[in-house]
Amino acid sequence: MILFFILATTWPFLEGMFSPDRWRYAAALELQKTEQFAEARQIYEGIAARKPKQAVTWYRLAEISAHEEHFEEALSHINKANEYASPEQKYYFLNFKAKLLLSLKQNRSAVQTMLKLLPMTGLPADFRSLSADELAGQLGKASHRQYLNGLAYVSAIGGVDLMIAKKMMDAVISHFEQEDWNASLCIPYLYERTSQYEKALAAYQAVLQNIRKEITGYDAKFQSMLELKSQLAELPGEEVQKKTILSKRLVALEKVLSLKKQWLILNRIQLLAEQSDNDIQVNEVRRQLAELSSEKINNEEVNFELNDAVYYSLAFELHHYFDTRAVVHMALGDAAVANMIDNQTNGGEFWNREQTANLDYQQAKRDIEVTLELQEVLKLFEDRFPENSQFIAMPSDTAERKRSVQRNEAVERNHYSRVLWSLGYEEQAMEEEKKVRLLGFQPGPQLF
């Protein structure tokens, strides 16, 4: 999900604090935080009259107008803010402007506004023409991933350049799969750290299954590895050359089978199974570990490092990316359905488009369910270790942070309810809508 609200509240707008009006600005900001918008507006307007080139004041007026759903007025204020903004301010102001344009149904203008930020990001100017794999290799910086996430989210909400948006989000998520496999351990790690051992066990098993599923011909390759091990064990010591050849083949096969990753995960599964006194599962895991064991793979070689900051930050980042990809697939599904309705098609073509829409909705459902599980483990960790939950930038004000978190959850659950409606899961969809209302928001396409 695009981080409009987090960006808006975490960036330190200090410019106004060092003017003669700094106490008035501070007072207005406190009034705005407590939703006394009329009083805050009056003070901001007074400051703007005296200091019309103070960009941050216009931004705050835009925030209030947007909250009151006076989007044209908000757009006028944010344009004024951009007129006087520094380059750093402009990055955040243009993000906010894109959101306003979406609210005004000026969808293509919203995407164009996001593209104006490209020169500030350091990404190549032709990034939209790259393949997903090529683009994934350009995303070592979190700021690059966050920019693509924001652009894809705006594109998806506006229904503009959806295939490019899909490619961008596939690249962002693929970056983690290719470059940082710790990302796949976020959910089980945080469950384990918060003593949710059964959920952790199930999550580790799911990661293990995914590793094996992604390897083409896994069973045959695994059997080949066992046969190589058997041959090596039976070779006489003097057959050095043959032993060297077989050892090299074995090491290469172990790499293909991601055995180090499997070993690490199986060790975590064994530990959790032992804690639950599940002897059958413990024995099964020990059998699998024995099969994987080699000179290169053992307890000394493969360690599991406890690093709350890494896994918490990864979970926070990823939960936004999976949400955005879900929204992209939901928009693709909606577009396929609209195409079926708007165009007269024969039976075969109609069925193909229906299948395409269903596949997109199913992928959206999978992605948003990952989002919600990441959201769950983040909340569990924050409740269990409140002193260690500041690994990511969030509003320092407690009430403001709570509002930001609640809105994010409401938006994500709103996305989930819309996907469920599209797939015909009416009861589940209504349950999610209830949760959105309990968080203080009204479900529907306007909540983004």
DSSP state letter for 443: -
The rounded percent of the chain whose pLDDT value lies above 70 is 89
What pLDDT does residue 117 have?
Answer: 94
Cβ 406 vs Cβ 440: under 8 Å: yes
CB contact set of 360 (below 8 Å; sequence gap of 6+): 329, 330, 332, 333, 336
Residue 40 to residue 224: CA distance in whole angstroms: 71
| In the predicted structure, residue 149 carries a pLDDT above the cut 80 | yes
State the CB neighbour count (10 A cutoff) for residue 227. Answer: 11
Six token digits for residue 351: 């069925």
Cα 126-128-132 angle, rounded to 5 deg: 120
Instruction: Say if residue 205 is in the same domain as residue 114.
Output: no
Instruction: Say if residue 83 is in the same domain as residue 171.
Output: no
Query: Does residue 448 lie within any of the structural domains?
Result: no
State the CB neighbour count (10 A cutoff) for residue 185. Answer: 23
CB contact set of 201 (below 8 Å; sequence gap of 6+): 188, 269, 272, 273, 276
Question: Mean pLDDT throughout 267-273?
Answer: 91
Instruction: Say if residue 431 is in the same domain as residue 312.
Output: yes
What pLDDT does residue 433 have?
Answer: 97
* Digit-coded pLDDT (tens) for 274-315: 888 788 888 999 999 888 876 555 554 556 677 898 999 999
Residue 427 to residue 323: CA distance in whole angstroms: 22
Instruction: Say if residue 337 is in the same domain as residue 350.
Output: yes
Domain stops at, among 249, 265, 292: 292
Mean pLDDT value across the chain: 88
Six token digits for residue 96: 């906010």
Query: Does residue 447 lie within any of the structural domains?
Result: no
The per-residue DSSP string of 68-113 comes to TT-HHHHHHHHHHHHHH--HHHHHHHHHHHHHHHHHTT-HHHHHHH
Instruction: Say if residue 117 is in the same domain as residue 146.
Output: no
Instruction: Say if residue 344 is in the same domain as residue 264.
Output: no
Domain stops at, among 77, 99, 121: 121
Domain stops at, among 229, 258, 292: 292
Here the CATH number for the domain that contains residue 106 is: 1.25.40.10
Global pTM value:
0.86
Instruction: Say if residue 381 is in the same domain as residue 319.
Output: yes
What pLDDT does residue 299 have?
Answer: 52
Q: Quick one: 402 exposed, middle or buried, by C-beta within 10 A (0-12, 13-18, 19+)?
A: exposed
Instruction: Say if residue 6 is in the same domain as residue 106.
Output: yes
What pLDDT does residue 5 have?
Answer: 42
Instruction: Say if residue 161 is in the same domain as residue 259.
Output: no
Helices first, then strands: H and E counts in the chain = 21, 0
Q: Is 48 helix (H, G, I), strand (E, B) or coil?
A: helix
Cβ 145 vs Cβ 121: under 8 Å: no
Instruction: Say if residue 168 is in the same domain as residue 91.
Output: no
Question: Mean pLDDT throughout 65-92?
Answer: 95
Residue 281 to residue 289: CA distance in whole angstroms: 12
Total domains in the chain come to: 4
Q: Of 35-49, 101-115, 213-227, 338-352, which range is least confident?
A: 338-352
- CA 133 from centroid of its chain's CA atoms: 18
Instruction: Say if residue 253 is in the same domain as residue 316.
Output: no
What pLDDT does residue 390 have?
Answer: 55
Query: Does residue 114 lie within any of the structural domains?
Result: yes
Query: Does residue 444 lie within any of the structural domains?
Result: no
- What residue has token string 């959806």? 162
Instruction: Say if residue 421 is in the same domain as residue 315.
Output: yes
Cα 25-28-32 angle, rounded to 5 deg: 135
Amino acid occupying residue 344: Q
* Digit-coded pLDDT (tens) for 164-216: 999 999 999 999 988 888 899 999 999 999 999 999 999 999 999 999 999 99
Residue 264 to residue 208: CA distance in whole angstroms: 10
Cβ 180 vs Cβ 186: under 8 Å: no
By C-alpha distance, which of 253, 378, 269 is closest to 319? 378
Cβ 221 vs Cβ 215: under 8 Å: yes
| Structural domain range at position 271 | 196-292
Query: Does residue 303 lie within any of the structural domains?
Result: no
Query: Does residue 184 lie within any of the structural domains?
Result: no
Cβ 98 vs Cβ 156: under 8 Å: no
Query: Does residue 330 lie within any of the structural domains?
Result: yes
Query: Does residue 188 lie within any of the structural domains?
Result: no
Residue 329 to residue 173: CA distance in whole angstroms: 14
Q: Is 302 helix (H, G, I), strand (E, B) or coil?
A: coil
| Strand locations in 186-257 (E) | none
| Strand locations in 95-250 (E) | none
